[in-house]
Amino acid sequence: MMKPLTWWWGLVLAFALVGVLRIFLPLPFIIEVLIFSIYTLGCNFLLGRVGFISFGQPAYLAAGAYATAFYLYYFGTNPYVGILMGIAAGVAVSLAVGPLFVRLRSDYFALVNLALAVIVFYLMQKVLAPITHGDNGLWFLTTMSPTPLLDITRPGQFFVFAFVVALALWAFYKYLDDTIFGACCLATKVNEDKLAFLGYSNFSIRLLAFVIANTTTALAGSMYAIYLGFVSPEMTSPARVADPVVVTILGGVGTLYGPIVGSIAYTGMKDLISRLIGNWELFIGFLLVFIMLAGEKGIWGTLEPLLKKAALRIRNRWRNEVSGRR
Amino acid sequence: MIDAQLLASGIIFGLSIGSIFFLMAIGLSLCFGLMRIISLDQLLYYSIGAYLTYSISLATGSVWLGVLAGIVVAGICAFGVERLVFRRIYERELTFSMITSFGILIGGVGVIKFIWGVVPRPVPAPVEAQMSILGTEVPVFRLIVIAIALLVYGAIWVFLNRTIIGKAIRAGIENVQHVEGLGINVSRLFTVTFIIAGSLSGLAGGLHAPLIMVDPQMGLEVLAFVFMVVIIGGLGSIKGTLVSAFIVGQVVSLGSLIYAPLAQMAPFAIMLLILLLKPTGLYGSPLLKR
């Protein structure tokens, strides 16, 4: 089952396509897509694998972004250390709230996470304003020192960095799907009583999944911070809490490449529509309703079976030709 | 320490804010109890109510007429949305309705921006008079808001306990299949409940409009508070909603008297505390399954 080549080829193909897109699309767009897809990856894992819908992902995004920003603004200059700080903050925050949250039923989980996002918003905007400079945000683009090997303070090389990180994360999540832990996550979504009967602890599986997913989100946050060189509370404002959920569903819940496809579609539409009518919320909202009514499979969820069928047909024809020639 | 006058006006302020929260949360709570959906689009009907109050009061000069129009239009919108969208998703999972209704909410906010623009607009208070309570001047309009909320609570109580439709709704909250088995048209019951919920949200918007500025994002701004009210009270419980609405109102108002940023933070801390002690909220029944 774990043949290295068949295991890798989908991943390599997908990221080769992203690399090709880099040639045709402007750099800011493709970087935005990469970071956004990492951001959505955590939400997709929670929703598709563990069955938790989280309207609170911006809270963890902000945790990562602000940890990076604090480090770069007040203490150091090395962006790589900043990213490590962001990851550490993600782990710390999700370990702090996780044991409390994962006990809740899925509907309460969604609402409590939403509340957390709003808490973080006000925390950053008002309560911690002396440190975070409130709505003005923290600017540190010029204080970051260039790094050797891969200078991520420059957009061109930041793209390479984001690309490598995304590839590693996707490989990691694909690997998770194949492990016993991945199977347990699915089982806790489908039937928690049976899983408990098999001797696994629902609580610890959910907690681990929660920490993994939210650390991924925090990583996306610190990448945003490095790329933009500034953070403001706007990223966790109540109006943006649904973004990752929308993109997850747009791409296809629980599919591996859904987040990438969803991010490309969402970011592209946002760009196009805001250029045309400046009122893109209207469009996104009704698109969401339409997708939900049309069958909640999302873009990749609909495309994947078709592509697989097509690939199979091509392979069969090729095999027939080879055997016919003999 | 805070002096008595400030405290008195703070409590009145908290009660009036709590009344608004109650009127909106009751819709969410009823929809969850009976239809097992989380209907975030209630916040859209709230904005619609507020904007109609603005437009009609500007055109005719009467805020009360605007509130009335807001209730009616919000009810009509709720009816349309129920027929077009929710009818198809009652059978699906709970989170499904949550995402769909969030889509309706964002889309609706887009429509509002399209019609009225993004600039916040003021609405005049219908009653300018002040009243003296315990030596403090209190706007009469806030007292009227509190009175209306209590009146609505009474009316809902009578409706649920004394009329056939209300009794059917209560029975439906316990077990929908049994109600259907008794030959009651459940689908019509759902529509009626949804329209009531939407109109109450419209009423909340109309009453809140003179107290704040009307702007397109207003639904998203109160979203978190209404959620908190519903969570603290327990999804599906009317009494719990009333109690928790007034708790949250008081915490917001008195918290801001002690330390301004506390107004937004303190309710969340209380919600986390209550969820820690009682994961289903104050009055939520642990038996509720989806």
Tens of pLDDT, residues A25-69: 788 888 888 899 999 888 888 888 888 888 888 889 999 999 998
Inside any domain, residue B132: no
CA distance B186 to B178: 10
Tokens found for residue B223: 């979203």
Q: Which of B268, B189, B227, B216 is nearest to B46 (CA)?
A: B216
Inside any domain, residue B33: yes
pTM: 0.79
- Using a CB cutoff of 8 Å and minimum separation of 24, what contacts does B124-128 make? B124/B57, B124/B63, B124/B210, B125/B63, B125/B210, B125/B211, B126/B57, B126/B62, B126/B63, B126/B64, B126/B210
Contact B261 A106 (CB under 8 A): no
Q: What is the pLDDT of residues A132-161, one digit of tens each?
A: 887 788 888 777 777 777 777 788 888 888
Q: B residues 55-94 near A, CB within 8 Å?
A: 85, 88-89, 94
For residue B227, give the CATH number of its domain.
Answer: 1.10.3470
Determine which of B84, B86, B102, B225 to mutate to test the interface with A (most A C-beta atoms within 10 Å): B102
Contact B110 A279 (CB under 8 A): yes
Cβ-Cβ contacts under 8 Å between A and B: the total is 126
- Touching check for A130 and chain B: CB below 8 Å? no
Q: Are B98 and B31 contacting, i.e. CB atoms less than 8 angstroms apart?
A: no
- Touching check for A104 and chain B: CB below 8 Å? yes
Determine which of A240, A283, A286, A289 to mutate to test the interface with B (most B C-beta atoms within 10 Å): A289
Q: A residues 289-308 near B, CB within 8 Å?
A: 289, 292-293, 296
Is the confidence at residue A195, as pLDDT, over 80?
A: yes
DSSP secondary structure string for all residues of A106-140: HHHHHHHHHHHHHHHHHIIIIITHHHH-GGG-EE-
Give the number of domains in chain B: 1
Inside any domain, residue B136: no
DSSP-derived pairing of the beta strands B130-133 and B136-139: antiparallel
Determine which of A50, A243, A288 to mutate to test the interface with B (most B C-beta atoms within 10 Å): A288
Residues in chain B, how many?
290
Cα end-to-end distance, chain B, whole Å: 47
Q: Which of B20, B12, B18, B17 is nearest to B206 (CA)?
A: B20
Tell me which residue range forms the domain holding B212: 4-127+147-277
What's the ipTM?
Answer: 0.72
Inside any domain, residue B235: yes
Contact A107 B290 (CB under 8 A): yes
Averages of pLDDT over each 10 residues, chain B, 290 residues: 74 89 88 82 90 88 87 91 85 77 86 84 78 76 90 90 86 82 86 91 90 82 82 80 89 80 73 76 58
Decide: helix, strand or coil at residue A63. helix
Inside any domain, residue B225: yes
Bridge partners, A231 (sequence order): A138
